[in-house]
Every structure is written in structure tokens, then in C-alpha cells.
Amino acid sequence: MTPARIHRQRGIALLEALIAVVILAIGLLGTIGLQARSYSALADAGMRAEATIAADRLVGIMSNDVANLANYQVALDAAAPAALAPWAAETAAAIPGARYSVTVVPEAQRTRVDIEIHWRRKRGDADNQHLVTAYIR
């Protein structure tokens, strides 16, 4: 190689290293964004699991008190009736900011119970909602 050709290629290794660092930084930023979305999805799944457990617990309570099913009915954002108060306290402890409604609909040979639980993961987010329908004989 001639000395002029060697002189022209000076700094190429530094340029290659800078390009590699930029590509690595873009990859790391993408990984951090993916991690944040993953954490958000995990938190939502945890709250949905808590809502499912709370609804299942209420269905069990109601199944053991079939004669008084109407006492468990409550509208969204209304005060919990006495029969529902212990469950409401446990649910509020498990799901911060939880709002719920319980609809009891007598049918021919069974009673349909709709349990709807709402919560917000962060202020400003839309409500997340979980609806469980059970039939009690």
C-alpha cells in the first residue's frame, strides 16, 4: 500500500466503533421500552387475577346464603350493603381504588349474578373492568 492510501483510511476504525455504539444504544432503548410494557402488562394481569379471585369469593359467599341473594345487590359507586361490607373491605385492600357492582337477576330455576369490578392502574388511565357472571340455584 502506498503511504497516501494509508493516510486516507485513518479514523475508519473510530467511525466503525461510533456506528456500533449507536446501533447498540438503539437496541438497548428498544429493550428498555419492551421491559416497561412488560411490567405494565404484568401489573394489569395481577389486578385482573385479584378481581377474579374477589368475584369467585363473593360467588362462594352468596352460594351459602341463597335465601338472601337480593341483599347483595349494589349499584356501581353505591355504598355497600351490610351483607357485602366484609367482602368490599377485602376487595378494596387487594385492589386499590376498586369500584364494583353486583346485579342479582332471578330467573326460572336459578338466579343470575353479575359481579363487575372496575379499577384504574394509574391516574388518568381508562377504567379496567372485569365482569363475572355466575348462576346460583
Q: Residue for cell digits 343470575?
A: 112
Please state the domain count of the chain: 1
CA distance 46 to 95: 10
CA distance 132 to 129: 10
Range of the domain at 57: 3-136
pLDDT tens for each residue of the chain, 137 residues long: 566 565 666 778 888 999 999 999 999 999 999 998 898 888 889 899 999 999 999 999 999 999 999 999 999 989 989 989 999 999 999 998 899 999 999 998 999 999 999 998 877 788 889 999 999 98
Kindly provide the b/e burial profile for residues 59-89, where b requires at least 16 CB atoms within 10 angstroms of the residue's own CB: beebeeeeeebeebbbeeeeebeebbeebbe
Task: Output the pTM of the full model.
Answer: 0.73
